[in-house]
């Protein structure tokens, strides 16, 4: 689920960046660097969001014991809700 949110954020940010850089599109085309700029932007965003994904997964694995304990406690306190999640 976390990785889905990261991927969604990456797509939204890429769209937003292209909207803000729209005025440079004609210049990039004139200079025949449009493909280079697009590849560069894709690479930069991909690298940053890969770093974000890995950092989030590291936090999750570093806290796995705490998260497991919290999940177990929640399931004991709310068995009906826990059972509903399995459906």
pLDDT in tens, 43-78: 999 999 999 999 999 999 999 999 999 999 999 999
Of the pLDDT bands very low, low, confident and very high (cuts 50, 70, 90), residue 31 is: confident
The rounded distance, in Å, linking the Cα atoms of 55 and 31 is 37
75 and 82 Cβ atoms separated by less than 8 Å: yes
Judged against a pLDDT cut of 80, whether residue 87 lies above it is answered with no
CA distances in angstroms from 48 to 14, 44, 54, 85, listed in the order given? 12, 6, 10, 33
Closest Cα partner for 75 from 66, 84, 87?
84
The rounded distance, in Å, linking the Cα atoms of 22 and 16 is 10
């Amino acid at each position: 689920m976390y990785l889905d949110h990261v991927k969604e954020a990456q797509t939204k940010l890429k769209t937003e960046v292209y909207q803000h850089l729209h005025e440079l599109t004609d210049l990039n085309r004139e200079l025949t660097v449009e493909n280079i700029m697009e590849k560069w932007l894709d690479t930069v965003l991909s690298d940053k969001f890969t770093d974000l994904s890995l950092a989030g997964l590291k936090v999750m694995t570093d806290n796995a014991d705490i998260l497991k304990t919290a999940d177990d406690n929640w399931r004991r306190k709310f068995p009906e809700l826990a059972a509903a999640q399995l459906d």
